[in-house]
Amino acid sequence: MIKFHLDQKRALVTGGASGIGYAVAQLLASSNAHVAVNDLPGEKLDTAVQSLQSQYPQSTIIAVGGDLSQSEEATKVADLTVSAFNGLDFLINNAGAPFTKKPIPPSELDLLTDEFWDKIIRVNLMSAFWLSKTLKPSLLASGGAIVNNVSIAAFGGGGSSVAYATAKSGLRGLTRELARAFAPKVRVNGIAPGFVRSPWECSFGDMDEAARQSVPLQRVGEPADYAELTVYLCAGAHYITGEVIAINGGIRI
């Protein structure tokens, strides 16, 4: 793993109580950054934050619970973070959800109700816009960075549903447009994960076997793999903006 030195840098990680988000929070905290962890309020978020606090006492770790499918909740999460840290350096828009237990085939359009579309778009796309807009003054003041968790589905479709792939394609486009909106002081980039070992709601079956058959590196990506690139795009990559970097073990080569 790359070692980062982020003394006193301040970060907000959404969807940070598990999976990639938790790994990002871990790497930031281990690099001596202060981290606000967002997720839905409840035991999962509380447990994650308590674990980070015990592992990394040198860093300030706080919980900022909130349902990011609602614009007012997203604004509240942003405001609480800035108030607690007196500013912000890094925004990691990691929150996302499939809202289905198993993949919905592209042909099953009748399953994609208006309610389903609304939830998908709000969580996977709009939350990143609401937070970025609210936090723009703080990020401009610090000369910070934004990293969006997009998806391999934004490049070639697939994923958990047509709606999910469409939302992530929108997030890929939003990454480019926000890079224009925040330039030259703030860089905005994204990562596009492939297979990931995490407690995601949607099950794709035996991912290990699928990775052995279809991924040149023959393994499922671990949350730490994605966290490393995410934090690099925050702390380094000073001449990269508006890009979404695929990280998938080579599945699309």
Nearest-angstrom CA–CA distance, 76 and 65: 9
3-state secondary structure of 109: helix
Nearest-angstrom CA–CA distance, 11 and 36: 6
Nearest-angstrom CA–CA distance, 9 and 98: 31
Question: What are the tens digits of pLDDT across the range 106-161?
Answer: 999 999 999 999 999 999 999 999 999 999 999 999 999 999 999 999 998 889 99
Residue 91: left if φ>0, alpha if ψ -120 to 50, beta else—which one? beta
Binned at pLDDT 50, 70 and 90, residue 175 comes out as very high
- Each domain of the chain, given as residue ranges in start order, spans 10-247
CA-CA-CA-CA torsion sign (19, 24, 30, 34) = negative
Q: How is residue 221 annotated by DSSP?
A: B
- pLDDT computed for residue 252 by the predictor: 84
Q: Of 56, 164, 226, 232, which residue is the catalytic one?
A: 164
- pLDDT at 240 > cutoff 80: yes
- pLDDT computed for residue 88 by the predictor: 98
Decide if 164 is catalytic.
yes
Nearest-angstrom CA–CA distance, 12 and 16: 9
- Rounded to an integer, the average pLDDT of 239-246 is 98
CATH says 10-247 is which class? alpha beta
- pLDDT computed for residue 201 by the predictor: 85
3-state secondary structure of 244: strand
- Rounded to an integer, the average pLDDT of 56-67 is 97
For every residue of 134-203, which 3-state class applies, written as one string? HHHHHHHHHCCEEEEECCCHHHHCCCCCHHHHHHHHHHHHHHHHHHHHHCCCCEEEEEEECCECCCCCCC
What are 165's two structure tokens? 């792939």
Q: 60-64, 66-70, 120-124, 195-199: lowest mean pLDDT where?
A: 195-199
- pLDDT at 55 > cutoff 80: yes
Alpha-helical (H) ranges within the chain are: 19-30, 43-55, 71-85, 114-121, 127-142, 153-156, 162-182, 207-214, 223-235
- Rounded to an integer, the average pLDDT of 178-196 is 97
Q: 């994960």: which residue's tokens?
A: 193
- pLDDT computed for residue 158 by the predictor: 87
Nearest-angstrom CA–CA distance, 20 and 53: 18
- pLDDT computed for residue 213 by the predictor: 93
What are 57's two structure tokens? 């006492």
Binned at pLDDT 50, 70 and 90, residue 2 comes out as confident
Question: What are the tens digits of pLDDT across the range 67-108?
Answer: 999 999 999 999 999 999 999 999 999 999 999 999 999 999
- pLDDT at 1 > cutoff 80: no
Q: Residue 49's closest CA among 40, 66, 37, 32?
A: 37
- Rounded to an integer, the average pLDDT of 193-212 is 89
- pLDDT at 7 > cutoff 80: yes
| Full-model pTM | 0.96
Residue 226, CB-side half-sphere exposure with 13 Å CA sphere: 33
Query: How much is the mean pLDDT over the chain?
Result: 96
